[in-house]
Amino acid sequence: DQQVKQNSPSLSVQEGRISILNCDYTNSMFDYFLWYKKYPAEGPTFLISISSIKDKNEDGRFTVFLNKSAKHLSLHIVPSQPGDSAVYFCAAMLSPNAGGTSYGKLTFGQGTILTVHP
């Protein structure tokens, strides 16, 4: 049972345009969401996060939007750069109301490969 899903395995974008990466979740007990960027054989690098009490968070070129009613979040990268080419993972953390199963556990989507062409 995959509770966090990234339905697009890959996305190709032209340099300077907007990249939109999507993520859906099924567990309403998730209350914190993060996006990570990853290169092969390296650890994920944190990009941006959002709490469930917000619907938008912005950091430079990165903006994350959260739609709780739809259980959907998206990461916008504007403008996209060739250096953004990597695998992007969304991850979710359970609310403490979920009990002991919330401690230190991120549930990840399967990732989306973003390619930004010059």
* Binding interface with another protein (CB under 8 A): 31-32, 34, 36, 41-46, 49, 51, 89, 91, 93, 95-96, 100-111
* Tokens 């010059």 found at: 118
In the complex, what is the shortest distance from the CB of residue 8 to another protein, in angstroms, rounded to a whole number?
A: 15
DSSP secondary structure, 94-115, as one string? E-GGGGGGGTT-EEE---EEEE
- Of 38 and 76, the one with the shorter C-beta distance to another protein is 38
Closest distance between another protein and the C-beta of residue 13, in Å?
23
> Least distance (Å) from another protein to the CB of residue 37?
11
CB of 97 to another protein, least distance (A): 9
Instruction: Identify the DSSP state of 54.
Output: -
| CB of 80 or CB of 112, closer to another protein | 112
Measured from the CB atom, is 29 or 79 closer to another protein? 29
3-state secondary structure of 84: helix
CA distances from 70 to 23, 27, 55, 106, 115 (A): 11, 11, 12, 20, 27
